[in-house]
Amino acid sequence: EDKVVQSPLSLVVHEGDTVTLNCSYEVTNFRSLLWYKQEKKAPTFLFMLTSSGIEKKSGRLSSILDKKELFSILNITATQTGDSAVYLCAVPPRGKAAGNKLTFGGGTRVLVKP
């Protein structure tokens, strides 16, 4: 059974701090790893990672994948209160039969205090 584990479960930081979120996975036939940000409603897409060692950046957010050690990290630099959210990582399995259903990690709840 595919497994995705995120850590820490939650963290509280102050504006301007940098946070690093971890996502480790055990998946048969890995294809990609997805990061989402969830505030009050449905998750919004952040990154899709397929190749090891290539950092993806979007503003103050960046993410990288290590396919050898089976994990990914999501970094947020110079955090702002608007970064407060639950960050989810998810892995879709390879193969038609799987229907590409996503296996989600438990999420990391980030609270950024002013």
Partner 1 sequence: GAVVSQHPSRVICKSGTSVKIECRSLDFQATTMFWYRQFPKQSLMLMATSNEGSKATYEQGVEKDKFLINHASLTLSTLTVTSAHPEDSSFYICSARAHGSTEAFFGQGTRLTVV
Q: Applying CB under 8 A, does 29 fall inside the site for partner 1?
A: no
Q: Applying CB under 8 A, does 3 fall inside the site for partner 1?
A: no
Place of tokens 């390879």: 94
- Name the 3-class secondary structure at 101: coil
Which of 30, 77, 37, 43 shows the shortest CA–CA distance to 57?
77
Per CB under 8 A, the segment of 19-27, 35-43, 55-63, 77-85 that binds partner 1 is 35-43
- Please select the residue that binds partner 1; options are 41, 69, 82, 114, rule is CB under 8 A: 41
- Alpha-carbon span 55 to 15, nearest angstrom: 24
Q: Which of residues 72-91 bind partner 1 (CB under 8 A)?
A: 88
Q: Applying CB under 8 A, does 31 fall inside the site for partner 1?
A: yes
Place of tokens 């820490």: 8
- Alpha-carbon span 53 to 70, nearest angstrom: 12
Q: Specify the residue, 77 or 111, whose C-beta has the smaller distance to partner 1.
A: 111
Which of 58, 57, 61 shows the shortest CA–CA distance to 79?
61
- Please select the residue that binds partner 1; options are 48, 61, 70, 111, rule is CB under 8 A: 48
Residue 103 in tokens:
């296996």
Residues at the contact surface with partner 1, assessed by CB under 8 A: 31-32, 34, 36, 41-45, 48, 88, 92, 99-102, 104-107, 109
